[in-house]
Amino acid sequence: MSQRRDSKNVSANTRPRILLLLSAAAALVLASLTTASTASAATSLPCDIYGAAGTPCVAAHSTTRALYAAYNGPLYQVQRASDSARTNIGLLAAGGYANAAAQDSFCAGTTCLITEIYDQSPRHNDLTIEGPGGAGGQDTGVPADALPVTAGGHQVYGASFSGRMGYRDNTTSGVAVNGQPEGMYMITSGTHVNDRCCFDYGNAETNNLDTGNGHMDALNFGTECWFQPCNGTGPWVQADLENGLFQSSAGGSQNTANTGTKFPFVTALLKNNGQNFFALKDGNAQSGSLRTTYSGPEPTTGSGYAPMHQEGAIVLGTGGDNSNGSIGSFFEGVMTAGLPTDAADNAVQANVVSVGYGGPTGTTGSLTAGSELSLRATTACCTGDYLRHQNDSAVISPVSSGSSTVDKSDATWIVRKGLADASCVSFESRNYPGDFLRHFNFKVQRQPMDGSAAFRADATFCPVAGKNGQGTSFRSYNYPTKYLRHYNFSVYIADTSGTNAWDSATSYNDDTSWVAGQPWAP
């Protein structure tokens, strides 16, 4: 109302001069943004882009890559179980990608946890393992090897959260407080989510307690629907502003097209001016542009949100009061001082896409670590069938050049060093990053790696010559008399001395022999 009233009071003589000045200013802004975008596409990383747009990063966290072109410091710290020693994992080069080989070498023969994720910004808002809070006890760090992924053509590791895992910094510098504007994004995964509270990244309370409405300003990603309606099945990018996960000012979704974002790699973005406006965006981190799912007033569901009352801590993986039942994946994220422009957001998304998260490993068709392959059955009935996942279970089904993209992706696996024994192998899903084939009650399933010794053992298989003289048979690491076998189109670990139906001796040697070949998914 006040803007319309002011415009009516501008005199006829003054209005043309103002319009001329505004037009000139707009042209200068457009030119500068065009120049910045061109430079950003060539040389700038996310925090360079936001800094050039006048909204510098006050936090920049990643386990996969540098977020400033000039950054050449550590990304994160790992601690190994065997002797509690710690080391920092840095970059292959300034502005480049994580030196995953350094982690592999340091953690060889044992397991490691990520104990600290360093802030690449000059603010040094480093994240350490979160302590107890109002809704959750002491957290642990994520297993360092649970989420291998390709980025920039290099193998790196994301951070895979499996509940009761979280990081925090309660004594930050430069992070928005008491209604100051800010923005943030993170790269996460739409295939590793649940409906528990709260997989967050962003601004939280400084005492690990719920201190009231508007005391948080954090990204949330998951399938928890706090306010109705929630369209589709999710997962959704939401704003955790404390005492609610918001998709709009009314709480629930006002966007019927926003049914969730299930891409293997997701860009999630929130910005909030701290007074009367916030916006949510999402996108495919592998291709395309951002989508705005909400842009409008602060929540009207209760007092305390307009203005906001942020406290300035940073949380990752839990809610502000350490509600820590959620699962999720984290690859990178930043927080800014000031409200980022849409142009800067778009340039950051373009840079993220250029990373090529989840891209080809460069090796195919073999059982060497890092190779992508598909496994074909050799039983006479089923020589056109391949081992794939379907509704979380391992099955065999026909796959051919005419099959759907989903079928081809479900039948493609990435060979990893055995999670329990590096001389054996584990199979990571190509389209569900961080999910592995593992047996449970002898049935083989696709599940996210939780870092436990039981999971590591269940997901490790040792290759031997094919029992029927073709290809390879895969012996279970922790049940060494049992082999990976298809039976009635489902997949189990089995041996002929067992008492289950899938332990039948009929065609056992054929059913346990697999041919490793070129991957169906590119």
- Which long-range contacts link 300-306 to residues 24+ away (Cβ below 8 Å)? 300/249, 300/250, 301/227, 301/244, 301/246, 301/249, 301/250, 301/251, 302/213, 302/243, 302/244, 303/213, 304/212, 304/213, 304/214, 304/215, 305/213, 305/214, 305/241, 306/214, 306/275, 306/276
Which of 280, 252, 286 lies closest to 268, judged by CA? 280
**Burial status of residue 196 (CB atoms within 10 A of its CB: 0-12, 13-18, 19 or more):** middle
Q: What is the pLDDT of residue 237?
A: 98
Which of 96, 72, 328 lies closest to 193, judged by CA? 328
Over 60: is that where the pLDDT of 11 sits? no
Q: What is the pLDDT of residue 20?
A: 34
**Burial status of residue 4 (CB atoms within 10 A of its CB: 0-12, 13-18, 19 or more):** exposed
Q: What is the pLDDT of residues 250-296, one digit of tens each?
A: 999 999 999 999 999 999 999 999 999 999 999 999 999 999 999 99
Over 70: is that where the pLDDT of 473 sits? yes
Q: What is the pLDDT of residue 304?
A: 96
Which of 192, 235, 112 lies closest to 433, judged by CA? 192
> Which band of pLDDT confidence, cut at 50, 70 and 90, is reported for residue 522?
confident
Which of 414, 399, 244, 423 lies closest to 320, judged by CA? 244
Span 330-359, mean pLDDT?
98
> Which band of pLDDT confidence, cut at 50, 70 and 90, is reported for residue 43?
confident
Catalytic residues: 242, 321
Percent of the chain with pLDDT over 70: 92
Backbone phi and psi for residue 12, each to the nearest 5 degrees, phi listed first: -65, -35
Q: What is the pLDDT of residue 2?
A: 28
Q: What is the pLDDT of residue 483?
A: 98
CA triplet 343, 344, 349: central angle to 5 degrees?
Answer: 100
- Comparing 460 with 31, the larger pLDDT belongs to 460
Q: What is the pLDDT of residue 308?
A: 98
Could you give the CA distance from residue 220 to residue 199 in angstroms, rounded to a whole number?
6
Q: Which domains does the chain have, with CATH numbers?
A: 44-69+143-355 (2.60.120.200), 372-517 (2.80.10.50)
Could you give the CA distance from residue 50 to residue 55 in angstroms, rounded to a whole number?
5
Element (H, E) at 100: helix 100-106
Could you give the CA distance from residue 200 to residue 318 in angstroms, rounded to a whole number?
6
> What are the b/e assignments for 452-490, b being 16+ CB within 10 Å?
eeebbbbbbbbbeebbbebbbbbbbbbbeebbbbbbeee
Q: What is the pLDDT of residues 421-472, one digit of tens each?
A: 999 999 999 999 999 999 999 999 999 999 999 999 999 999 999 999 999 9
Over 80: is that where the pLDDT of 353 sits? yes
> Which band of pLDDT confidence, cut at 50, 70 and 90, is reported for residue 41?
very low
Which range is least confidently modeled, 5-9, 146-150, 335-339, 431-435?
5-9
| Coil/strand/helix, residue 312 | coil
Which of 234, 268, 266, 272 lies closest to 253, judged by CA? 234
**Burial status of residue 501 (CB atoms within 10 A of its CB: 0-12, 13-18, 19 or more):** exposed
Backbone phi and psi for residue 496, each to the nearest 5 degrees, phi listed first: -75, -10
State both tokens at 30: 């457009």
Element (H, E) at 297: none
Q: What is the pLDDT of residue 25?
A: 36
CA contacts within 13 A on the Cβ side of 441: 1
Which of 284, 282, 302, 300 lies closest to 292, judged by CA? 282
- Comparing 34 with 263, the larger pLDDT belongs to 263
Percent of the chain with pLDDT over 90: 92
Backbone phi and psi for residue 67, each to the nearest 5 degrees, phi listed first: -115, 0
Over 70: is that where the pLDDT of 179 sits? yes
Q: What is the pLDDT of residue 30?
A: 38
Element (H, E) at 38: helix 14-43
Q: What is the pLDDT of residue 144?
A: 98
